[in-house]
Structure 1
Amino acid sequence: MAVDKRIVKTDNAILDAFISLAQTTPLKKITVTALAKEADISRKTFYDRYANLDELIDSLQKYMAQRFEDLFMLPIKHEHILREDIVMDFLEFAEDNQKLLAILKHDSNNFLAAAIKQEGDSMARFLVSELDFSPESAKTMAPWLITFYVEGSNYLLDKWLFTENDLTKEDVTHLFMLLYKDSIFMMQKKR
């Protein structure tokens, strides 16, 4: 099925307008009228896609969270394998969407809570089956470990994207690979 270029163009215009407005206006003060004007679309076109601005913001947050989850939560669920090409792809995505990440990162607690709820049981099972923790200990530690991955990864990504540094994508990819591989390796070794 062919992608309608007009739809893509309009969606991109909405995203660009949102990013532009959010850099100078608090999110709660952005209006559909201002967004439509900035995107050079009608209010009807906006409402054809979203019920309101909260739905747009929620949609963008879910999209960004899904990209983050694809990289950092899937390895936790699937044999703890993190591929270098996937990390590099995510870092390229983060660079390309740096302004949107900066706008949406203030709501990262919602993503963390969702990640713990969604992945907590899986992580606890891993701790029991692979590392011989008791079920009670694993249930307590699983949210801690997920928080470590999510918050630690967020912190490193923020430092790389939003501070002055000379690190390349390759450097940061290598760092993420070391952290993920070594944290799992060290846990397995201690048991």
Structure 2
Amino acid sequence: MEDRRIQKTKSAILEAFISLILEKDIPKITVSEIARRANIDRKTFYLHYDTTDAVIHEFIKNQVDELIDMLELKDFFNNIFDVSILFQALNILMEKNINLYRHIANSSLYNFLSEEIKKVIKTSFWENLRARVNISPQVFDLYAEFYSAGTMAVYLKWLRKEVAVSEDQLSQIAGNATYYGFQQFIPRNV
């Protein structure tokens, strides 16, 4: 357990970093700017982080850990095909700072975050379904990649405001696409 002062300083650094992301691209954010915004000196910054990249990695880790905690709480890993659980957890996570996530979704500089979330989805497939299906690991990996990449692509499209649907509609569409694909739209010959 970290000392409260350490937690408070790290929290101030992360908050400063997040506020700067909304103003400029990550490569242009400096330690001096973060320190100034966090109301600390550079020396204090370096007591907690070696570089701005270390702040980025902690930010990603915190977000992914929070997402995993929510998914576990909602029993997603035992209901892996219930995409609505994933979307609800993502919505709760992102509601805290939707402007940040919309900004991230609209910039290719932040692909690392969506890649990390995609890894969580794919890893959960591997850990929870691999033993239950009778296909080769290579084929399984392709299915897991397809599902996780598709889920992230749909969500990013929504964050970028490229589609005008509600969060609930988005969850429903993604779930139907996962379960039924295009087959649901093809008329059946009687």
Deviation at 1:94, TM superposition (A): 2.0
* Unaligned segments of structure 1, at least 5 residues: 187-191
Matches within 5 A, 1:95-106: 95-101=95-101, 102=104, 105-106=110-111
Q: Quote the residue 1:158 is aligned against.
A: 156
CA contact 1:71–1:90 (8 Å) conserved in 2 = no
Code of the aligned partner of 1:159: K
State the aligned residue count: 172
Corresponding position of 1:78: 78
Which letter does structure 2 place at the counterpart of 1:97? N
Give the conservation status (yes or no) of the 8 Å contact 2:130–2:140.
yes
Normalized against structure 2, the TM-score is what? Answer: 0.65
Normalising by structure 1, we get a TM-score of 0.65
Deviation at 1:35, TM superposition (A): 0.6
| 1:149 counterpart SS class | helix
User: Where do 5+ consecutive residues of structure 2 fail to align?
Assistant: 185-190
Letter in 1 for 2:13: I
Tell me whether 1:56 sits opposite 2:61 in the alignment: no
Contact 1:32–1:46 (CA under 8 A) maintained in structure 2: yes
The one of 167, 170, 176 equivalent to 1:169 is: 167
Q: Secondary structure at the match of 1:80?
A: coil
> Contact 1:95/1:161 (CA < 8 Å) preserved in 2?
no
Kept in 1, the 8 Å contact 2:13–2:38? The answer is yes
Aligned partner of 2:93 in structure 1 is 93
Residue 8 of structure 1 and its aligned partner are, at CA, apart by 6.5
* 2:14/2:55 contact within 8 Å kept: no
Q: CA deviation at 1:21?
A: 2.4
TM-superposed CA distance for 1:46, in Å, is 2.7
- 1:21 aligns with 20
Q: Distance in 2 between matches of 1:173 and 1:115?
A: 15
* Deviations 1:11-38, CA, capped at 9 Å, x for gaps: 4532332123234443233221111112
Check whether the contact 2:16–2:38 (CA below 8 A) recurs between aligned residues: yes
The 1-side partners of 2:168 and 2:33 are apart by: 40
Residue in structure 2 matched with residue 189 of structure 1 by the alignment = none
Root-mean-square deviation over aligned CA pairs: 3.8
Amino acid at match of 2:94: A
Distance in 2 separating the partners of 1:88 and 1:119: 18
